């Protein structure tokens, strides 16, 4: 979180990572042109760009402003070579549930046409009620998939975040039915059930069912990217390269262990 954009790229190269997920805030800090050139020089693929959204007004933008910002995000994602733009739709705010749902669906659908032309996928990200705040009114996987289906667009899918869906008892069962609509598997762990948002830990070092999640999604047809995103005051105090290297090793071992002997395949 506290590393610069340049540091983000440098430490991932040093850790021998093949790709990086990017935050728009950091891209904006250096400027899109500088960011694009830096990514090209790094040789890293870009899995995802986070975030666009706030269509309900919960982020302080009017609907048209949030939609315009969404278009900007799509163009930025395409310029960076990101496979997926992550969408946090926005909390309900001042709208009724039905009106908010219509607005969000309309926005995602409109963005999907330009995104398709530019080769970018859109992935809406559900969060449990406790962690949703102003981010989204989609609190479980089923609701997120329903919105995707409502758009009628094949380049609209979801992010499966094992931390934010830990309180959704039906998430894994539902994931078996819609794994191909999951574009990004976002991994993190926690030291306690319903853990504090800034007390997360490296996947495989906590108590969340990380292995079960990986095995279930890949066996069910998931073919997207695996991102690691950890909010941790403790980890942020440590050396960035050490943290990234540890994550890289832990997740690589988790994937090897979980997918050994299965029919699932894994991109390098």
Do the beta carbons of residue 230 and residue 202 sit within 8 Å?
Answer: yes
Question: Between 58 and 213, where is the model more confident?
Answer: 213
Alpha helices in the chain (DSSP H): 5-14, 24-30, 32-42, 63-80, 97-117, 129-132, 141-151, 171-178, 210-219, 233-236, 240-259
Asked if the model's pLDDT at residue 67 lies above 90, the reply is yes
Confidence at 268, pLDDT banded by 50, 70, 90: very low
Q: What is the pLDDT of residue 267?
A: 55
Render pLDDT for 165-217 as a digit per residue (tens, 0 to 9): 999 999 999 999 999 999 999 999 998 866 688 889 999 999 999 999 999 99
53 forms beta bridges with 88
DSSP state of 230: -
**Which residue matches tokens 């046409």?**
113
How far apart, in whole angstroms, are the C-alpha atoms of residue 232 and residue 246?
Answer: 14
Percentage of the chain beyond pLDDT 90 is 82
157: left (phi over 0), alpha (psi -120 to 50) or beta: beta
Per-residue pLDDT averaged across 9-37, rounded?
96
Confidence of residue 63 (pLDDT cuts 50, 70, 90): very high
- pLDDT(247) > 80: yes
Q: How confident is the model at residue 142 (pLDDT cuts 50, 70, 90)?
A: very high
Quick one: pLDDT at residue 266?
Answer: 59
Percent of residues, the chain, with pLDDT higher than 70: 96
What distance in Å separates the CA atoms of residue 164 and residue 182, rounded to the nearest whole number?
Answer: 15
Segment 121-133 shows an average pLDDT of 92
| Average pLDDT across the chain, whole number | 93
């Amino acid at each position: 979180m506290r590393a610069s954009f340049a540091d983000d790229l440098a430490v991932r190269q040093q850790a021998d990572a093949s790709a990086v997920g990017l935050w728009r805030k950091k891209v904006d800090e250096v400027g899109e042109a500088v960011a694009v050139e830096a990514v090209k020089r790094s040789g890293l693929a870009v899995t995802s760009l986070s975030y666009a959204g706030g269509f309900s007004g919960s982020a302080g933008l009017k609907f048209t402003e949030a939609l315009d910002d969404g278009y900007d995000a799509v163009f930025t994602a395409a310029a960076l070579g990101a496979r997926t733009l992550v969408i946090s739709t926005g909390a309900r705010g001042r709208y009724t549930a039905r009106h908010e749902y219509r607005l969000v669906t309309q926005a995602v659908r409109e963005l999907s046409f330009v995104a398709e032309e530019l080769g970018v996928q859109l992935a809406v990200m559900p969060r449990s009620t406790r962690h949703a705040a102003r981010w989204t009114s989609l609190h479980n996987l089923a609701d997120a998939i329903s919105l995707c289906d409502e758009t009628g667009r094949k380049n609209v899918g979801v992010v499966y975040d094992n931390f934010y869906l830990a309180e959704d008892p039906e998430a894994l069962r539902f994931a078996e039915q819609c794994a191909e609509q999951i574009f990004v598997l976002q991994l993190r762990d926690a030291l306690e059930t319903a853990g504090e948002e800034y007390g997360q830990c490296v996947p495989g070092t906590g108590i969340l069912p990380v292995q079960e999640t990986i095995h279930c999604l890949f066996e069910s047809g998931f073919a997207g990217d695996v991102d690691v995103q950890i909010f941790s005051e403790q980890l942020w105090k440590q050396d960035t390269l050490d943290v990234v290297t540890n994550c890289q090793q832990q997740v690589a071992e988790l994937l090897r262990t979980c997918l050994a002997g299965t029919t699932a395949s894994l991109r390098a």
